[in-house]
């Protein structure tokens, strides 16, 4: 017996981060500049701690921490102050050290990746503050560990791995999980939905056919009853992974689309009436 066709839900990249530049100015009369600054009272607010990476640190990536006292990287602390005497002194237009907005980027994952988990490597381009005060662009590869059961909208944040600029902390980078559309399955929570086309004769007489499963493979489904409107079969444990209950999965809900013939001969009509005329 031939298997009926499977109808799926028909669904039908490196994007760098936008560079952010801080406009700085150079004050030529330093004595007059510092004399114009009123004395500042000590602040009771403790400085914002250096962010740490929420997710795993990528291979080869370095976290560039910032000296909160002057807004420059730690390797520009008092031990290297002599080197800065010969370089131009730059003053940020920002008052104090601030945290710039988080950079967000979508990370598309297939249903298979969200069900079984995976490791995705993403390249970003970011502004890096050099020793001289110059800002250059560098490529970074970040590794995002996708856990089984994650859903769209899940956020993964790498603290301090975004753009660097004078007088500010390094920005955070957040990846927002997005689901790629699947050619066969549609996700509803922890369950999957699948639609199968079936001829009218098999809907009335029963049949047996293989059902595709997420991740590959098939499962033979036996139907010995009439398939009417709204008929559905539930295959337990073949849905998406449950994040709250490791090792468990949702269900695969199979719906049926009955293909009615477009036309019948007079003989077929007569036969259908004789067989189904008293069926109600």
* Residue ranges per structural domain of the chain: 103-179, 185-272
Q: Is the separation of the CB atoms in 3 and 210 below 8 Å?
A: yes
Instruction: Report the share of the chain in percent with pLDDT over 90.
Output: 45
Q: In the beta sheet, which residues pair with residue 223?
A: 207
- The two most distant CA atoms of the chain are separated, in Å, by 108
CATH code 2.60.260.20 for 185-272: yes
What letter would DSSP give residue 54? S
27: Cα within 13 Å, side-chain hemisphere: 13
CATH class given for the domain over 103-179: mainly beta
Fold: same for 103-179 and 185-272: yes
pLDDT bracket for residue 6 (50, 70, 90): low
More confidently predicted of 133 and 113:
113
- Which among 104, 70, 115 has a CA at the least distance from the CA of 89? 70
Chain segment 221-236, per-residue pLDDT in tens: 999 999 988 899 999 9
Residues with Cβ < 8 Å from 95, sequence gap 6 or more?
A: none
Structure confidence at residue 218 as a pLDDT band (50, 70, 90):
very high
- Residue 121: pLDDT above 60? yes
Per-residue pLDDT, averaged over 3-9, amounts to: 50
Q: Which residue has the higher pLDDT, 131 or 83?
A: 131
What is the reported pLDDT for 158?
Answer: 95
pLDDT tens per residue across span 58-82: 443 333 333 333 443 443 333 433 3
- CA 251/CA 55 separation, integer angstroms: 30
Number of residues that make up the chain: 280
């Amino acid at each position: 017996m031939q298997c009926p066709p499977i109808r799926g839900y028909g669904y039908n990249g490196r994007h760098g981060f936008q560079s952010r530049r801080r406009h700085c100015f150079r004050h030529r009369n330093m004595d007059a500049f510092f004399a114009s600054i009123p004395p500042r009272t000590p602040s009771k607010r403790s400085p914002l701690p250096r962010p740490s990476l929420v997710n795993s640190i990528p291979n080869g990536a370095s976290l560039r921490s910032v000296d909160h006292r002057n807004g420059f990287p730690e390797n520009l602390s008092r031990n290297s102050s002599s080197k800065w005497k010969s370089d131009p002194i730059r003053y940020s237009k920002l008052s104090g050290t601030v945290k710039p907005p988080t950079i967000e980027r979508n990370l598309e994952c297939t249903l298979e990746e969200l069900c079984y988990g995976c490791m995705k490597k993403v390249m970003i381009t970011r502004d890096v503050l050099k020793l001289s005060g110059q800002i250059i662009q560098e490529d970074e590869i970040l590794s995002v560990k996708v856990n089984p059961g994650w859903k769209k909208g899940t956020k993964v944040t790498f603290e301090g791995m975004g753009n660097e600029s004078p007088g500010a902390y390094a920005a955070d980078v957040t990846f927002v999980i997005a689901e790629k559309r699947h050619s066969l399955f549609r996700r509803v929570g922890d369950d999957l939905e699948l639609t199968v086309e079936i001829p009218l004769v098999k809907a009335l007489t029963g049949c047996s056919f293989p059902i595709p499963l997420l991740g590959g493979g098939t499962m033979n489904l036996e139907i010995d009853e009439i398939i009417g409107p709204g008929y559905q079969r539930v295959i337990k444990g073949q849905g998406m992974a449950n994040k709250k209950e490791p090792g468990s999965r949702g269900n695969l809900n199979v719906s049926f689309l009955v293909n009615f013939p477009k036309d019948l001969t007079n003989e077929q009509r007569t036969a259908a009436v004789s067989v189904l005329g008293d069926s109600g």
